[in-house]
Chain A
Amino acid sequence: MHPALSVIFFTVASGAGFGLVMLTISLHLLGGVPGMESSGTLAAILVGVVLATLGLLASTLHLANPKNAWRAFFRFRTSWLSREAVFSVLFYPCVMLYALGLWLFGGELAWWSAIAGTLAMLLALATVFTTGMIYASLRTIPQWNSPLVPANYLLLGLASGAVLLTALTVAFGGSAETVATMALVLLVIAGIAKGVYYFWIGKPQGPTINTALGITRSRIRMLEPGQSSDSFLNREFSFQAAAERILQLRLIVYVCGFILPFLMLVVLLRTDAAILALLAPLVVIGGLLAERWLFFAEARHVVNLYYGRQQC
């Protein structure tokens, strides 16, 4: 699949933003983000919302006819994209109400603020889940058609959110111990989940050129594509990264996305080197951008079978 920058930025930014919001609110509901003033919590919510919003805005950039984007709420009944749109939009009043409570009452939770917070948290979770499901529901792309995809989206959102929250906690003078530990745990789980995903997509498993043509015997090769230049189908689906490039990027994913931030947070816990907390989110985001690029680049749409690919 063609890795569109708008979608990469969207999913990484909104994942991290929603992850940050989810963690912040849940910690708050559980009694407050340890060692953080309410202004810090508010800032975390703000950063989360801004990231999610930037991401959502970026996502509209890949629409070829954005003037009809408002219609995207209509097919909630069947479309994961529509659901994502609905959840993300519902998220805003809830999170704003919650933020209002935070602003008015500081750390104290009014009943309506708690409800709004809970809802915002659930809607953030749902949004990230639906984002994953947009891809996971596509039977045409074997590398996506798995529960591992929404799981990955959620875990990576939460992990990157946790690293961000750690940074914010440190920035607002709080004690990073709890959130950093949480971030460490999430990084480990997300890293393992991603590893499982990479293992799972390691061997081709989808339809083959034989099933695509309905000819089960013998080797089949494409002779003529029937077109002299790339069509929309090639521009959209035929992107293929070199195996070497994939390996390099997977290394970056692991180093920047998991290993480096893990080590930085471990060192942070040991030494209180605040700078590490502030750098970690940048490293994580870098790793996740690579991860998301690979997510698209390694996905092989079955239409490629009609262009001569043996299996997807």
Chain B
Amino acid sequence: MKLGLVIDTDTCVGCHACVVACKQWNTSGTLGPLTDYQPYGKEPSGVAFNRVRTYEVDTYPNNKTINMPVSCMHCETADCVTVCPTGASFKREEDGIVLVDQDKCMGCNLCAWACPYGARELDEAVGTMKKCTLCVDRIYDELLPEADRQPACVLTCPTSARVFGDFDDPDSEVSRLVRERNGYQPMSELGYNPVNHYLPTRHKPHAETTPGTPLPSLTERFKSWIGKSVSR
């Protein structure tokens, strides 16, 4: 099994719902709490497993705004795992989820250095590395209704821009989406082979127009309607 996410940049409106849902679930989750620093102070920040940033492509008036949510890609070639000296960082054989064993992490940050996507953040209050767990504490919880066994970010996404599934299964929705919508891996040239894929914006051909029946002058247009009636 190769679990991961498909993220649709065509429908992501950058609302941060996934960011906060992630925070909410995971602060009481297996890697929790997700410490917040200066929550009511001068420089509010905190541990996040998922961040959304907004970009502008091209220049006015041809600009397009793109929202890019980024969380752990659960890479197949996960350097964050190989560089870890303690073995705290690991990729589950069963499903490919990359996790950090909090009781073994020494907080050297090397895994964060090895991650191109900024998916790992040190919890400075306890000194251990934290990251997206793909909600391993939700997706296998058989006490939850079947439809709810999905990562919190996927459940909450109002524009269905996040889809969770098994990339090993060619019939899964994630595999189908990647196939049909030309799903891609960001920064693929680094060779991490991320499991998560992104869907590009849909290309829409220009909409059709109807010319109607223009007349040489607006006065003629008006005159053409005199006497017109409609049955009430």
Contact = CB atoms under 8 A, between A and B. Distances in A.
B158 interface: no
Interface string B173-210: 00000000000111111111000001010000000000
Interface string B40-54: 000111111001111
B55 interface: yes
Contacts of A30: none
Interface residues on B, range: 35 or more
A26 interface: no
Contacts, number: 190
A238 to B, nearest CB: 10
* Interface residue SS majority, chain B: loop
Contacts of B107: 63-66, 68
A214 interface: yes
Interface in A80-137: 80-82, 85, 134, 137
Interface residues of A, number: 59
A212 B187 contact: yes
A230 B38 CA distance: 12
Interface in A187-233: 207, 209, 211-215, 217-233
A230 B65 contact: no
Contact of B113 (A212, A213, A224, A301): A301
Nearest to A209: B55
A207 B187 contact: yes
B1 interface: no
A306 B106 CA distance: 27
A75 B44 CA distance: 36
A223 B84 CA distance: 34
A69 B189 CA distance: 33
Contacts of B19: 226
15 contacts: A64-B109, A66-B107, A66-B127, A78-B83, A137-B83, A138-B113, A222-B56, A223-B56, A224-B53, A229-B45, A231-B48, A236-B109, A236-B112, A302-B190, A303-B118
Interface of A: 1, 62-69, 71-75, 78-82, 85, 134, 137-141, 207, 209, 211-215, 217-233, 236-237, 301-303, 305-308
Interface of B: 14, 16, 19, 38, 43-48, 51-59, 65-66, 68, 70, 79, 81-88, 103-110, 112-118, 121-122, 124, 126-128, 184-192, 198, 200
Given A71-B85, A220-B56, A236-B113, 6 more contacts: A63-B127, A81-B83, A207-B189, A215-B57, A222-B54, A303-B115
